[in-house]
Amino acid sequence: MITDERIASFINSFNNDYDDAITAIRKEAEEQGVPIIRREAGEFIRLLLRMKKPVNILEIGTAVGFSAIFMSRFIAEGGHITTIENYQPRIDRAKKKITLLEGDANEILPTLSDQYDLVFMDAAKGQYGSFFQKVVPLLAPEGILLCDNVLQDGDVLESRFAVTRRNRTIHARMREYLYELKHDERLDTAILNIGDGMSLSVKKTADKKDH
């Protein structure tokens, strides 16, 4: 974790999981070693949803369904989440608000035609750059692209030689992705030190065509 553990623990002492289903999924994920959004990141997402009030949300990377179920608690009546993953998660309780698309996001994204108010990317970190060019055209004007784990426990700051050999490709791709994200003229982007690092991008309304 990038943030000081004591500070994170203090902040999280004020937070809760809001209902038993979310608590149960968090506990199961922690026991199985499945990474899910950290509590402080969840609080940020919750407030973002309250402010933005998105109706149509796209999530890339379902895992055990935690983020999708968490977000479903804070979207308006009539709001809907479409989530992409390679296997069926346990999201039965939230199916009224959540649609699962099973398969590779790189293959599914080009088939989507909806406009999304918010896209949450929390999938394979080495694939963020590949997903990116497919995602931006799907964002509605002033739509939000929110990406988790972009600082990789601080590894992204290090020289490639300070990173373990098996992580060097992901390290290089994430650095390239962050550069691309910050320099894309279609978006206004901030990189935030929340949880394991998040990026928040807003699609501009200027008449620049998607390329």
Local structure of residue 90 (DSSP, 8 states): S
pLDDT in tens, 154-211: 565 555 545 666 566 676 888 889 999 999 999 999 999 888 889 999 999 864 444 4
Cα–Cα distance, 23 to 150 (Å, whole number): 25
For the chain, what's the residue count? 211
pTM metric for this prediction: 0.83
- Which among 112, 108, 109, 82 is positioned nearest to 94, based on CA atoms? 82
pLDDT in tens, 118-155: 999 998 888 999 999 999 999 999 999 999 988 866 56
Q: How far apart are the first and last CA of the chain?
A: 36
Which uninterrupted H or E stretch holds 189?
A: strand 187-192
